[in-house]
Structures are given as C-alpha cells and as structure tokens.
Structure 1
Amino acid sequence: MNVFILEDDHNQQRHLKTMIEKISREISINELKIHLFTSTDQLKMGLPVASKKNVFILDLEINGIKTAGLEISRVIRKHDELASIIFITVHDEFVYTTYKYRISALDFIAKDRGNIQEELKQDLIHIQKEVQATATKELFTYKSYYEEIHIPYKNICYFEANHSNTHSSIMYTIDNQQIRLNYNLRTIVKNETHFFRSHRSYLINPQQVKHVDFLHHQAVFYNGLICPVSRRHEKELFKLIK
C-alpha cells in the first residue's frame, strides 16, 4: 500500500505517519510505503502510477490556502481514478464542497473529534479488502491432484491442447514453465474471459503477445515463445494487442 500524506505542519505530519505505521502493524498491511509532502506542488511532482493501492491523506488547508487540499484532490482524481482520497481537517464546512468538486472521497475526518486513528484504521481496512478482492480477480485458479493453485493471468502466455489426452491441456508461462492441467481448452474457455481462441489447439493470453507474425501465422510472445494462429483469427488477435 502506498500512502501519500499532504500536511504542512511537520508535527502533525509525523503524528499521522506514526499512526499509519501502527495501524499497518495491527492489520498486517504488506509493503507499506509512506510519502510525505508539505505543499501541493511537491505532491504534483510525486504523483504515482494509478493504482488501487494508492491512498492520499490530505489536509484541506495548506500554507494558508483553505481549499488547497480540495484543489489538489481534483488533480489526483484526474490522474488516478483508482486511488482512495481521505481528507483530514478542522474545516467541517467543507464536507459539502467535496461533493461539489466531485472527488469521490472515501472519508472526511475532523481533527477535533479525537478518534482519527480509529477512523483511519477502518478506512485502511476497507482499502485493504478492496485491493485483495481485485488481486483475487487477477488470478487464474486450477487444481492439481493435491491442491488448488493460483497464478496471475499476466504470467500466462498460452494453453495448448494435449493431444495424448483430450481431457487435459498444457499451460505455458512467461518463465517458460510447462504445466499440465486436468482441463481441456473447451473447459477453460467456458470459465475464463481473459484468453483468446487463436487456433483449435491453442488458447492465447493477448496481454503477453508482442506481435502477430502474419507471414508465418504465429503469435510471438514477449518472452520469445511462439505459437500458431489460424488465418481467420489473425486480424482479431492483432486488434486485441494494439
């Protein structure tokens, strides 16, 4: 989780950092990174790649400007639609204004209520659950003889029909593993939407295709693997990887 704190009071900034570190230990947040900013210009320069793991904790009043936090939140939301934004301030009257700005803030915590840590904790628990739910959706799940195994979709290149056993298939991964599955291609297609049927014997992950070789009727993957593509599916695959 990446936490970005905008607070111009150094004492309060350190207090928030300590608070978040404590919450992180309590709820077992993995790979916590905290970034501190005292001005909106600093934060603009440090905006990360969009991600559900990004959490922005903003004071509304920065360096004497009462709406500075709201104004930078608009920049953040335009740059990152996935991030969570939490306002911490003494200015209760700005609650309505957040809706006017259409920020979709997760929470609005008043400094003078005295329960900032508990409210922050509940917010971070909510964000952590959202991140975990998203991560689960990005996994391909299959069963071996002994256990259920999860692999990120992005780590899969393609599946090949196993001609020696029509009830199984072979999965090829980005690190050149070949894993035999107890499912045929028809079963995988029925249960998954991430893959493209490029050939009667192959099921491709377009995310890992570097380019389509129209001359040799092949898909070339980023890791160097190659697999056949039928002529009638070449253009469709090409559109998927553009």
Structure 2
Amino acid sequence: MLHIAICDDDLILSKTLYQFIFETYRDIDLFIDQYDSGEEFLNKIISSKKTYDLLLLDIEMNKISGIAVAKELKKLSPKTYIVFITSHDEFATVGYEVSAFRYLVKPIKKAKLIEAIEAVKTELLSQKSITVQNREGEYVIPVNDMICLEAQNQDVLIYTLDQKILHRGNLNEYEQQLSKDGFYRIHRSYLINMRFVKSYSKTDVTLNGGLVLPLSRLRFKNFTTHFREYIKRTAR
C-alpha cells in the first residue's frame, strides 16, 4: 500500500500528476491526495495526524513555500519521502537542509516521475520484513532479500540472499501477502521475487545466482505481461 500526497498550487499540473500516477500504478493499493497549498497540506497533517509515504511538493508556491512546508513536515512526519517539483535547477541545492529525496524539474518527464516513485518503493520495501519461526528459532527476513519461496507439502522453503529457511506455512497466503511487492506465482510450487529474474523461457525462469525454476505453461502469458509491466515501472 502506497500513500502519496501532491502539494502544488498549479491545479492543472496537480491533476495531470494524479491521473498519470493513478493509471500507472492501478495494479497496487494506492492512495493519492491533492492539496492546493502548503497551508492546506500542513493543516491536514496536524489535524488528522495523517502520514504519507511520499510527498510531491512544489517549491515555488504562494504564501508558504515548499521549503517551509518541508521543514515543518520533517518535524511532524520525518519518515515521509519528499520529492521537490521545481522550475529551476538551482533550487535543488536548497533541499539538502530538509533531506529532499529527489527533484523533478518542470516540465516533468514521465520516466523521471516513475523513477522517483520506484526509488521510494524500493526504500520502503527494503524496510519491510516478515517474521517466521521453526525449530531453530525466529527469523526476521527483509522482503527485499527474499529471492523465492517453494511449497514443500505443509512447509514453505524461503530462499534469501544468504540462507534457506524451512518453516510451516502456506504458499497461497504468501502469494496474497507479497503480490503487491513484486512477487509472482510462476508455478503451483514457486513464488518468485521479480527483482531477481535474470531470464525466462516458455518452460522456466532463471533467477540471479543461477537458480532455475519451472514456469507453468498456463501461467506463461500472464507472467510475461506482469514481468514487462514490472520492468517498465522499475526502469530496470
């Protein structure tokens, strides 16, 4: 689930950004709010305690500037990633004092916008973890480190970057839990993290590290579509 706020007094640009993001990311849980001024945005944050994963913030707004909004937001919601929108490259240096994540220079290129959003998603995903238990103990596994999951009778074997963890689990439940995070069920026994896909054919998928897994014939066409969309979104 991704929560995005757009704060820009250019209503046409704000609407354009909203529509493009909504259409591009229609396959994930996404919430987008629009604000016409820095005052409106900060009042909402203060009154409702609402938080966002990403704020697309115009630097040059009437009354209160984007820089002032960012400074206040860092006190109220320090974990929100800020991507500044600006008409002038020289404003980029100003953002260091508020730890701006990225800058988008007008006119905004769609590829640059997607790149910024995907970078935020990657940051958020790297912070997301799951916890599993087996006889050896409890493991906290970063989702970004999970290469694939394999169903083995009543157990699930999780392949990570540095180990394999077998525990009692259900692959269907993992599929529901991780499908929004770039995971895809290529076979009844395998759920893979698409960020690790090296190549694929009609019969199998090769992951980084050399692991080759079977690709169900009935899932090939759908997998191809999902993987191409994933590549487009992440600009790999």
User: If the length of structure 1 is used for normalisation, what is the TM-score?
Assistant: 0.51
Ranges in structure 1 where 5+ consecutive residues have no aligned partner: 151-242
Q: CA deviation at 1:148?
A: 2.9
2:155 matches 1:147: yes
Q: Aligned-pair RMSD on alpha carbons?
A: 2.4
Identity %: 21
Residues 40 and 109 of structure 1, relative CA distance in 2, 3 Å threshold? same
Unaligned runs of 5+ in 2: 135-151, 159-236
> Tell me, what secondary structure is at the counterpart of 2:25?
helix
Please tell me whether the aligned partners of residues 44 and 50 of structure 2 are also in contact (alpha carbons under 8 angstroms): no
Counterpart-to-counterpart distance in 2, 1:109 and 1:46? 24
Q: 1:50 to 1:42 in 2, by over 3 A?
A: closer
Match of 1:10 in 2: 11
| TM-superposed deviation, 1:38 | 0.7
User: By how many angstroms is 1:40 displaced?
Assistant: 1.1
Matched letter for residue 36 of structure 1: Q
Q: In the alignment, which residue of structure 2 is the partner of 1:125?
A: 118
User: Quick one: structure 1 residues 149 and 46, their matched pair in 2 at CA, closer, same or farther if it must change by over 3 Å?
Assistant: farther
Matched with 2:70 is: 73
* Number of residue-to-residue matches in the alignment: 138
TM-score (norm 2): 0.52
Contact 1:60/1:91 (CA < 8 Å) preserved in 2?
no
Q: Aligned residue for 2:43?
A: 45
Residue aligned with 2:72, SS = helix
In the alignment, is the contact (CA less than 8 A) between 1:142 and 1:148 conserved in 2? no
Q: Which residue of 2 aligns with 1:56?
A: 55
Task: Tell me the secondary structure at the aligned position of residue 46 of structure 1.
Answer: helix
Distance (whole Å) between structure 2 residues aligned to residue 142 and residue 120 of structure 1: 39
Deviations 1:7-60 (A, max 9, x none): 1121111001012112313xx4x3211111111111011226586x61000011
Change (3 A) 1:103 1:50: farther
